[in-house]
């Protein structure tokens, strides 16, 4: 009998910073049977996009690790840090499958990204070789009928953005309840986003 592969959700992003919206969505997926575990795949700084507000890769990874500590279904990953740049999703997923043959990877994307999915690199290959989970975003409908290997996630709509958090911190607002306490502490202690 073939061993059942672990269903591993891939939540890619800059996580600049990781916030309760990310964590609540990921928690929902694990606790409601969409995936067995979820990896927060921290995207490296794109060498072609010099974004001044994007913190160093290591600090963003440190915040993700702090936020997920103690919850057994979450994993912080720097997998993309060592891939050729820019790292296209299809290349990342294929390399993950090659590196971890004991897992089935489920790409997690928002309905906003799904609306533009046909403009991604190799969308057909992503759908044929991997699974895609589409979660709700404000102002975007998820179609009733989706291609094979693509599934809508019936998660609560949590609209918190990292941009909002960075801007609020720059304006000296206390937004501790939008962040995991450990992440809030790192941002405060290191004077980030000021």
Per residue in 67-125, pLDDT (tens digit) is 999 999 999 999 999 998 888 999 999 999 999 999 999 999 999 999 999 999 999 99
Stretch (H or E) spanning 109: strand 103-110
**Domains of the chain: total:** 1
| Mean pLDDT of the 25-35 span | 98
Whether residue 181 lies inside any domain: the answer is: no
**What dihedral do alpha carbons 91, 96, 101, 107 form, nearest 10°?**
-90
Range of the domain at 13: 6-158
CATH number where 63 lies: 3.40.50.620
Extract the tokens encoding 5: 């592969």
Whether residue 107 lies inside any domain: the answer is: yes
User: Is residue 189 scored above 60 in pLDDT?
Assistant: yes
Rounded to 5 degrees, what angle do the CA atoms 160, 61, 181 make? Answer: 55
Q: In this predicted model, what pLDDT tens digit does every residue of 155-166 receive, in sequence order?
A: 999 889 999 999
Q: Are 135 and 155 spatial neighbours (Cβ–Cβ below 8 Å)?
A: yes
Give the confidence band of 36 by pLDDT, cuts at 50, 70, 90.
very high
Give the confidence band of 45 by pLDDT, cuts at 50, 70, 90.
confident
pLDDT score, position 97: 97
b/e for 62-101, b at 16 or more Cβ within 10 A?
Answer: bbbbbbbeeeebbbbbebbbeeeeebebbebbbbbeeeee
User: Is residue 139 scored above 60 in pLDDT?
Assistant: yes
Give the confidence band of 2 by pLDDT, cuts at 50, 70, 90.
low
Whether residue 37 lies inside any domain: the answer is: yes
pLDDT score, position 87: 82
Point out which residues pair with 105 in neighbouring strands: 8
The mean of the pLDDT values for the chain is 94
Whether residue 97 lies inside any domain: the answer is: yes
Whether residue 63 lies inside any domain: the answer is: yes
pLDDT score, position 86: 81
pLDDT score, position 120: 95
**Which one has a higher pLDDT value, 20 or 87?**
20
Q: Are 138 and 42 spatial neighbours (Cβ–Cβ below 8 Å)?
A: no
Question: What is the C-alpha to C-alpha distance for residues 74 and 67, in angstroms, rounded to an integer?
Answer: 10
Whether residue 185 lies inside any domain: the answer is: no
Instruction: Select from 92, 104, 99 the least CA-distant residue to 130.
Output: 104
| Mean pLDDT of the 27-46 span | 95
User: Is residue 178 scored above 80 in pLDDT?
Assistant: yes
Whether residue 28 lies inside any domain: the answer is: yes
User: Is residue 50 scored above 90 in pLDDT?
Assistant: no
| Residue with the two structure tokens 């589409």 | 134
Q: How many CB atoms lie within 10 A of CB 10?
A: 25
pLDDT score, position 53: 75
Give the confidence band of 3 by pLDDT, cuts at 50, 70, 90.
confident
């Amino acid at each position: 009998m073939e061993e059942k592969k672990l269903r591993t959700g891939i939540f890619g992003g800059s996580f600049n910073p990781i916030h309760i919206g990310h964590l609540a969505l990921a928690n929902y997926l694990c606790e409601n049977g969409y995936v067995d575990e979820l990896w927060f795949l921290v995207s490296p700084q794109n060498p072609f996009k010099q974004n001044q507000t994007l913190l160093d890769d290591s600090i963003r990874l440190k915040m993700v690790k702090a936020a997920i500590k103690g919850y057994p279904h979450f994993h912080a990953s720097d997998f993309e840090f060592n891939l050729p740049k820019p790292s296209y999703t299809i290349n990342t997923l294929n390399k993950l499958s090659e590196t971890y043959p004991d897992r089935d990877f489920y790409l997690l994307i928002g309905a906003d990204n799904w609306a533009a999915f046909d403009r991604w690199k190799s969308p057909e290959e992503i759908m044929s070789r991997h699974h895609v989970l589409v979660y709700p975003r404000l102002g975007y409908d998820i179609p009733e009928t989706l291609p094979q290997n693509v599934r809508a996630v019936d998660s609560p709509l949590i609209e918190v953005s990292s941009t909002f958090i960075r801007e609020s911190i720059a304006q000296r607002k206390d937004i501790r309840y939008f962040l995991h306490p450990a992440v809030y502490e790192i941002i405060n202690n290191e004077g980030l986003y000021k």
